[in-house]
Amino acid sequence: MHAQRSEDVSAGDTVADSVLVGGRGGLGHLTLNRPNAINALDLEMIRTLNLALDRWEHDTDVDVILLDGAGERGFCAGGDVRALHEMVTGGRTDDVHAFFREEYALDHRIAISRKPVVAIADGVCMGGGIGLAGHAAIRIVTERSKLAMPETRIGFTPDVGGSWLLGRAPGRLGEYLALTGGTMDAADAVYAGFADHLVPSAHLEALYEALENRADPSSPTELVLLFDETTERSRLEDAREWVDDAFAADDVFGILDRLRRRPEAEARETAELLSSSAPTAVALTLEAVRRARELPSLRAALAQEYGLVMWFAFTQPDLVEGIRAQVVDKDRSPSWSPARLDELPAERVAEAFAYAPEPALW
């Protein structure tokens, strides 16, 4: 994680407080710059990133874009959920719509960018950080990387295109990672399809210089391969037998039953975790990942997520309660509504997917 050099790529480059915008040669360089908050995203940062990508889209001097984070803790801990809590509790409906609409547009833009985006997911990369790095053309992790979609832990559901990535993970790992919010190391992230290359953190400076100087071989992928190392075997690969068996069940009740019958201690621990999680969040997230698996595009997955996020924000108490318990008061004792899975109304999940937010996504 570094706040790298910001030499001008072209006239008009700027250094915003929360995002450094610059580069050198043919490299555009964007650095998330809120290290004290592990570079958590707010709307100003999202807009700065979008503006830079707008300008570079038609700038013939820029042909590769590098995205990283400042500080030693991580690339991006996610969206600023404290700010989201304030928006929801303050009734700032338009701000909630704007934040997610513009964030999702940014994630999609990175995915379809004609200029390849090289994302360095060094250290913590969770939630909104996955939305930025997970859809880049070249996704790099290091030995310090910790990736996760931990939204169910705050009574929420994976978004920022996370359901699209989760739905395409091997076997039933998508359901497992989504429902538990489990953390992936570099080997896990590459195996699960959230990253492409492991580059040791000690080699990042040399990689940056190679990208700036365009030494042969000249393509970004070929340059990254000069520094790439083979990952160790993923623990997720070793867990596939019990994960695939349990998380193939029809519903959360079935998953819990299969987990409790497994001989592996980790399977039974997972059952305990899910039993204490927000019933609405885990039931809806299971369906979201499975629906995303059948969707035709990232854009379609983002549209599905947008409706679910607005449903949580405007109709459910669990999101505000989860953020309160984990981030605001930090008592780690959320009161979910309903509190038990067997109290969840049968129609609740269908109701969420039928929710039609206004305005539309984009």
154 alpha-carbon distance from chain centroid: 15
With 0-12 CB in 10 A as exposed, 13-18 as middle and 19+ as buried, what is 360? Answer: exposed
Which residues of 142-289 form beta strands (DSSP E)?
A: 146-148, 197-198
Helix (H) or strand (E) holding 109: helix 93-112
Angle between helices 93-112 and 43-57 in degrees, nearest 10: 40
Q: Which residues pair with 119 in a beta bridge?
A: 67, 139
Local structure of residue 137 (DSSP, 8 states): S
Residue 221 tokens, joined: 């992928």
Nearest in space to 81 (alpha carbons), one of 168, 156, 188: 156
* Rounded Cα distance, 244 and 320, in Å: 32
Please provide residue 31's backbone torsions phi and psi, each rounded to the nearest 5 degrees.
Answer: -120, 120
Distance CA(51)–CA(46), nearest Å, equals: 9
* Alpha-carbon gap, residue 300 to 306, rounded angstroms: 10
- Measured between alpha carbons, how far is 45 from 53 in angstroms, rounded to an integer? 12
Q: For the stretch 168-203, what's the b/e string if a residue is b when 16 or more beta carbons lie within 10 angstroms of its beta carbon?
A: bbebbbbbbbbbbbbbbbbbbbbbbbbbbbbbebee
Q: Which residues are catalytic?
A: 79, 128, 151, 159
